[in-house]
Structure 1
Amino acid sequence: MATTPSWLDDAFKSAMEDFKKSLKNPSLYDFSKINSPDDVMREAAKIENEQRKTKTLRGLRRIEPLINGLKEYAAVIEVFVQAQPEIMSLIWGPLKFILQASSAVITAFDKVVKVIADLGTTLPSFKIYAQLFESNHYIRRALCLFYADILDFYAVLLNFLVNRRLNVFIESLWPNIRSSIANIQENMEHHKAIMTANVTLEEIIRAEKARKSTLEEYAHSQAFRESQTFSVIRNELNPHNYDTELADILRRSSVTSGDWLDHETNYKKWRDPTDHDVRCLWLHGIPGSGKTFLAGNLIQGMQHFNQRVLFVFLSHDDQSAGDTIKVLHSLIFQLLEYDVTFRPTLLKASESNYRKLKSDCSFVLDLLCTILNNTGASYLILDGLDELNEVSWKHLLSNALQIIEKCQETKLLISSREEREISLRLESKSIPLRVNSKNHQDIHSFVHLECEDIIDEKKRSRADEEICTRIREAIDMIAENSEGKHQGTLSDIESQMKNLPDGLDQAYGRLLDRIKIELPQGLRNVVRTILQWIACAQRPLREEEILQLLALEPGKPDFTKGPKEYRDIFQVCGPVIETRGDHVRFVHFSAKE
């Protein structure tokens, strides 16, 4: 038996390592016990018998050219390379797994058998070159090129067949698979030419590098084309990305909300992907109880643990964004950011049914469910359902519930106020968790952060430690009454402690009473105008636009005081309004109500 140069042995080992690294889920396979073509033929015979029973016989003789070609190849490397069992097992093992996996789906099996037959005609007759291998050590290196080509072919098919719902995705994924295999066949043709030429070792090494470069360039160009088409579709559909809203919520959240959830049995079941008893949670509570901050912190925590979470923050200021089809578009694109493998499914849907993809809610829902059913455990969070108008939230909720009915590994969390209509639709389909009966610690933490700000201010005014202690004791009462920031003297704080508002109506009422009492008539009119415009505008207004509106007087043909007024609208309106992004909004949509 010929002696194997160390560089040749290293080349085969390198090809094996590259193959194993290229597999999406290598733990699924054990090729070590499959060392001969007999193992493959027994599997083929078994598949034929099963197909004969179900009357789906597919003509497995088409794979014989590849089997015969691999037999010749195996015989050659046994002589000239002193092949180890692991090298031989990768010639036959993957092929058996490919036949086994593809036989479960007839359409996939037909396509796989056809490309196997094609590859069989591409392989050279290795026994013809046996004398050449014997006389030229360097030409033996070409054997490793074919070994790498064969493993490239196996890797493409194994990674394709690992999809759990192959019958659903085959038509959208197969064109790329077939194109990748064609690229591998081109490499094989080039490597056949190398064997018949009087090449040096350096030229063969260059061919190895060219093979890798060709595959990498093809993968890069294919990914680039898909990315370009994906971007075009995204620009046309313009799905809303809620990352900005999430970042804003987390920025404005003074404390990490929701630690109490970790002690809730039903929440722990919902969070556990292996538990299927609790699949829909409903977080509800009074306005201002921190539901949105809770949802934001929950999403951040799930992202930290690499859980697939899709989320939507709904707002009364942007009713159009709550349209069901826009929400579904957002969820699809969020999902495809997690796993680009299924982007061809979207591309195919766009090519064949663009109008439905753009406007047919049922079509888009089915597409989302198709992808979800192949991606494993996923979580969907809808915050602020009650902020939509009744028609919109009912339609959106109906579709969200359909998602968890059709997708058994998807779970849903809805956050809203406890409105009767929502309650009626969710009472038999969700587990309710009332936020404002559980969030005492969150409020306590928030109030104490605010307390330290007040104390720092008093210390700058030379308050001694006794006064600071009395302030802390007084502010401790705030947490019990679920209120926030109070400023003034110690007497002011203690006075406010005894007279906290009872509910949001009283809280907003006091703010408006303060405006009526403390502001002169002219400023009261300004405040009334500002609040009316914010409440009634069809879209959120920028501060610049509000200042221009203040310069208008009904009945006048033009600006009466200049193009805009110059004043601090936040100072005159108090804490009823705030800025989010570039827009002026009510501090909470309950203020508008």
Structure 2
Amino acid sequence: MSLKARVSLDAQRVIKESFQDLERTLSINDRVSLDGTTLDDVREAIVQVQDGLKARGVYRNMRRLMPLLTGLQYYSQAIEVLCNGTPYLPWVWAPIKLVLNIASEYVEAFEKIIKAYSRIAEPLARFEMFDRAFAGNKDVQQTLAVFYSDILSFHKEAYQFVRRSGWRLLFLTSWGRFQRKFDGIIEDLKAHEDLVDKTTNAVNITEAREMWDKLKLWREESQTRLAKDEAERTVAQYRAVVGWLNFDDSNQHKVFDTIASEAQKSPGTCSWILQQRQVQAWLRCNSEMTFVVLQGGPGTGKSVLASQIVNFLRSSEQSLVISHFCTYSYEESLDYEQILRSILIQLIRPNTDLVAHVYDTLVLKKRVPTIQVLEGLLRDVFGAGSSKSEYIHLVLDGLDECHKSAQPRIVKILERLVSAAFSSGSTICKVLLFSRAAQVGPKKGNSKRTICLSDEKNSMTQSIEQYAALRLAELRPRLAQMRIDDADMKRLEAQIASKADGMFLWARLVLEHLENNMFFRREEILRVTDALPQELGAFYRQILANSTTRFSELSIQRARSILGWIAFAERPLRKAEFRSALAFSSGNPDVDELPPPYLFDMCKPLVEERSDSTFAFIHVSVKE
């Protein structure tokens, strides 16, 4: 029987998949460094590391690893038949050299890693007495392949632990998780050590196969249980961190959903921003364009554009996406400290090690999360890096809505986070900031880039024209009664887009004016853009004047009360809350009836009811 015929394909598959899994984990340079590494190379490297530690006055007994190398030598002879013609075999020992060289820079971690590696020697000792005649037994090969898989899993965990740039920072808080993984691998190795003996005994071949099936099931259950325990531990720590920070992101979700829904009502009107040259460069996962400021006047749709960029990034799943939307509707969203908390929570949420680190730093040590503590934590976790390249896209909208004193602090911390990530050597953080203010743009010699919506007139005009076409299509039955044909519709769309001068909000107000007013003649429709103010403030005043012309003094007071509650409430009020607030605004505690809901309709279009039944101005500029 040929050697090829005696090789278990299932065993080879396990070995190949284990090799490829570790290969994907290693950096290109580290993969190259492992090629051709012999056991003697590893022994020599261990001696060199020991000499280096001794020279630093931190001598460590490296002879503890010799039984491991001996065991690997005997094991390699047993598995050689499964690795013929492949690069798989040297990877059983080669990563040890790499891991020890890196870990030797931090003695406390080095000691723990040596102890972990030395534990592999015990289950490998069995192979010193292994009869190589059994190497062609397919049942034995299955067990040998599991050994290979476990050893490479051990290397992978050790490599990931020491290769991330911030591993010293995370060592104390993340070692426990790695220790539990190491323990599981060692336990699996010991279980399969007994299986080797039973499989090589022809008398117990049936018993060995039964044991193999049980071990396979136990292995799967053990891995599932470990993953579940780790997930539950991380969730508990994450919740504790959120509680310690007293952070609630539900309002951010509401803000984002409200803004994103505006784009969904007018599909395609925002897609141009994803084709904009500088935005495309920022979106790419590379080190170019790490800090971009997108500037635009009030009502130009910056927030909607921001939401579309965030949605695009999240759907691509190429990077970690962090977003924060500053809005007057939720006062806490404008607070500098809350912005720091928002960024921190989103950064650590998908990362078990970072959750553990922040949990230990804040919760276990009972540290008050002051601004200084939060800034330091953010710099640390952004600089922690990873064993592989990672990208973070951070989008912050509405900087101009924050207090003027907070704006430069926000810009400064974002710049520092970009620098901290870059210094890690493995993480790139790219910031996109939306604002009106020109002062956040690049200074001389600054790496920030600026995109001005005023320079994107063609795209903005086409987008507004498309928006107008969608809204006018809804009014077509009414407009047709005044002999407005397709040519008139096109003309009106172009007029609105041209007069809007990049302001989506102005176009929206014009279209709502068309929807909510009475027109007799075709000419009135076609001249509507000439009859309305082009400046937003004047437009608001005209809308307000038209709405209140026939109001009594009492009605005007009530309208002011509605607008005042919207402008100065700490958060948007729901309809029931709003009606109660209006009822008690007079100061009379004996209220037996709430104001009717139709009152809110009389404040349109400056006031709108959102999908969550809260009320807000159509734009922050109304409040201003």
TM-score (norm 1): 0.86
Q: Rate the CA distance shift 1:460–1:74 in 2: closer, same or farther, 3 A.
A: same
Percent identity, aligned pairs only, is 21
- 1:284 corresponds to which of 295, 308, 320: 295
Q: Does 1:219 align with 2:227?
A: yes
Q: Rate the CA distance shift 1:553–1:532 in 2: closer, same or farther, 3 A.
A: closer
Looking at structure 2, the residues matched to 525 and 128 of structure 1 have their Cα atoms a distance apart, in angstroms, of 96
Q: Does 1:568 align with 2:598?
A: yes
- 1:507 corresponds to which of 539, 560, 568: 539
Q: Rate the CA distance shift 1:218–1:538 in 2: closer, same or farther, 3 A.
A: closer
Which moved further from structure 2: 400-409 or 193-202? 193-202
Gaps of 5+ in 1: none
- 1:579 corresponds to which of 595, 609, 622: 609
Question: Does the 8 Å contact 1:20/1:26 carry over to 2?
Answer: no
Show the counterpart of 1:158: 159
The DSSP-based 3-state class of the residue aligned with 1:226 is: helix
Aligned AA for 2:397? D
Looking at structure 2, the residues matched to 13 and 31 of structure 1 have their Cα atoms a distance apart, in angstroms, of 25
Question: Does the 8 Å contact 1:577/1:587 carry over to 2?
Answer: yes
Q: Rate the CA distance shift 1:428–1:11 in 2: closer, same or farther, 3 A.
A: closer
Show the counterpart of 1:388: 402
The DSSP-based 3-state class of the residue aligned with 1:282 is: strand
Show the counterpart of 2:315: 304
Show the counterpart of 1:589: 620
Q: Does 1:497 align with 2:511?
A: no
1:298-337 alignment runs, 5 A limit:
298-305=309-316, 306-337=318-349
Superposed displacement of residue 501, structure 1: 1.0
Looking at structure 1, the residues matched to 131 and 20 of structure 2 have their Cα atoms a distance apart, in angstroms, of 29
Show the counterpart of 1:70: 72
Q: Rate the CA distance shift 1:591–1:503 in 2: closer, same or farther, 3 A.
A: same
Looking at structure 1, the residues matched to 139 and 569 of structure 2 have their Cα atoms a distance apart, in angstroms, of 79
Show the counterpart of 1:342: 354
Superposed displacement of residue 63, structure 1: 1.1
Aligned AA for 1:216? T
Superposed displacement of residue 231, structure 1: 2.9
Superposed displacement of residue 506, structure 1: 0.6
Q: Rate the CA distance shift 1:340–1:12 in 2: closer, same or farther, 3 A.
A: same
CA RMSD of aligned residues (A): 3.6
Show the counterpart of 2:437: 418
Show the counterpart of 1:473: 491
The DSSP-based 3-state class of the residue aligned with 1:525 is: helix
Aligned AA for 1:377? Y
Question: Does the 8 Å contact 1:226/1:344 carry over to 2?
Answer: yes
Superposed displacement of residue 429, structure 1: 6.7
Superposed displacement of residue 249, structure 1: 1.5
Superposed displacement of residue 292, structure 1: 1.0
Q: What's the CA shift string for 1:171-208, capped at 9, x where partnerless?
A: 22211111211222223333344455544333234324
Question: Does the 8 Å contact 1:102/1:108 carry over to 2?
Answer: yes
Question: Does the 8 Å contact 1:19/1:151 carry over to 2?
Answer: yes
Q: What's the CA shift string for 1:217-248, capped at 9, x where partnerless?
A: 22332222222332333344334263443332
1:477-488 alignment runs, 5 A limit:
477-482=495-500, 483-484=506-507, 485=511, 486-487=513-514, 488=519
Looking at structure 1, the residues matched to 537 and 291 of structure 2 have their Cα atoms a distance apart, in angstroms, of 32
Q: What's the CA shift string for 1:473-525, capped at 9, x where partnerless?
A: 24422212113114144222233222331312211111111123244555333
Number of matched pairs:
584
Show the counterpart of 2:503: none
Aligned AA for 1:40? V
Q: What's the CA shift string for 1:377-422, capped at 9, x where partnerless?
A: 32222111121233444543443333234333323222222276x5
Q: Does 1:435 align with 2:453?
A: yes
Question: Does the 8 Å contact 2:42/2:97 carry over to 1?
Answer: yes
Looking at structure 1, the residues matched to 82 and 469 of structure 2 have their Cα atoms a distance apart, in angstroms, of 78
Q: Rate the CA distance shift 1:472–1:523 in 2: closer, same or farther, 3 A.
A: farther
Show the counterpart of 2:39: 37
The DSSP-based 3-state class of the residue aligned with 1:309 is: strand
Looking at structure 2, the residues matched to 550 and 13 of structure 1 have their Cα atoms a distance apart, in angstroms, of 72
TM-score (norm 2): 0.82
The DSSP-based 3-state class of the residue aligned with 2:595 is: coil
Show the counterpart of 1:541: 573
Looking at structure 1, the residues matched to 351 and 620 of structure 2 have their Cα atoms a distance apart, in angstroms, of 35
The DSSP-based 3-state class of the residue aligned with 2:232 is: helix
Q: Rate the CA distance shift 1:338–1:465 in 2: closer, same or farther, 3 A.
A: farther
Q: What's the CA shift string for 1:353-383, capped at 9, x where partnerless?
A: 3423xx2222222322333231533222211
Aligned AA for 1:259? W
Question: Does the 8 Å contact 1:24/1:159 carry over to 2?
Answer: no
Q: Rate the CA distance shift 1:271–1:152 in 2: closer, same or farther, 3 A.
A: closer
Looking at structure 1, the residues matched to 215 and 73 of structure 2 have their Cα atoms a distance apart, in angstroms, of 24
Gaps of 5+ in 2: 199-203, 423-427, 501-505
Looking at structure 2, the residues matched to 452 and 196 of structure 1 have their Cα atoms a distance apart, in angstroms, of 76
The DSSP-based 3-state class of the residue aligned with 1:232 is: helix
Looking at structure 2, the residues matched to 546 and 535 of structure 1 have their Cα atoms a distance apart, in angstroms, of 13
Which moved further from structure 2: 161-170 or 392-401? 392-401
Q: Does 1:406 align with 2:420?
A: yes
Looking at structure 2, the residues matched to 346 and 213 of structure 1 have their Cα atoms a distance apart, in angstroms, of 30
Show the counterpart of 2:190: 189
Q: Does 1:228 align with 2:228?
A: no
Superposed displacement of residue 100, structure 1: 3.9
Higher relative contact order (CA closer than 8 Å, sequence separation 6+) = 2
Q: Rate the CA distance shift 1:405–1:82 in 2: closer, same or farther, 3 A.
A: closer
Which moved further from structure 2: 452-461 or 313-322? 452-461
Aligned AA for 2:381? I
Show the counterpart of 2:269: 256
- 1:201 corresponds to which of 200, 206, 209: 209
Looking at structure 1, the residues matched to 56 and 337 of structure 2 have their Cα atoms a distance apart, in angstroms, of 42
The DSSP-based 3-state class of the residue aligned with 1:123 is: helix
Superposed displacement of residue 299, structure 1: 1.9
Show the counterpart of 1:10: 10
The DSSP-based 3-state class of the residue aligned with 2:41 is: helix
The DSSP-based 3-state class of the residue aligned with 2:147 is: helix
Superposed displacement of residue 166, structure 1: 2.3
Looking at structure 1, the residues matched to 464 and 620 of structure 2 have their Cα atoms a distance apart, in angstroms, of 21
Q: What's the CA shift string for 1:258-298, capped at 9, x where partnerless?
A: 72574455x4554455445x432222232112111121222
